[in-house]
Amino acid sequence: MNIIQLLFLVVLIVPFAEIYLLLQVGGIIGALPTIFLVVFTALLGAFLLKQQGLATFQRFQLSLAQGEVPAYE
């Protein structure tokens, strides 16, 4: 199996596994707590993405201000 076929399988299987697990969790803890967890993790992810993006941009600006090439930002 080459890397393209493996990547195709992963892209195909992961969403189905995620939906399956979401339904299983919903069956165990209920619909409302499951929806809360999904929304909470989405908001947490957005917050972390914003925080890390701003930190990277600040490091980028600092490198430029010091006359360095921001190669690793």
Nearest to 41 by CA among 25, 53, 57, 27: 25
With beta carbons less than 8 A apart as the criterion, state whether 34 and 25 touch.
yes
Indicate the pTM of the whole model: 0.71
- Report if residue 20 sits inside a domain: no
Structural domain boundaries enclosing 52: 30-67
Over residues 67-72, mean pLDDT: 82
- Report if residue 60 sits inside a domain: yes
Domain count, the chain: 1
pLDDT at 38 over 80: yes
Residue-averaged pLDDT of the chain: 94
- Report if residue 42 sits inside a domain: yes
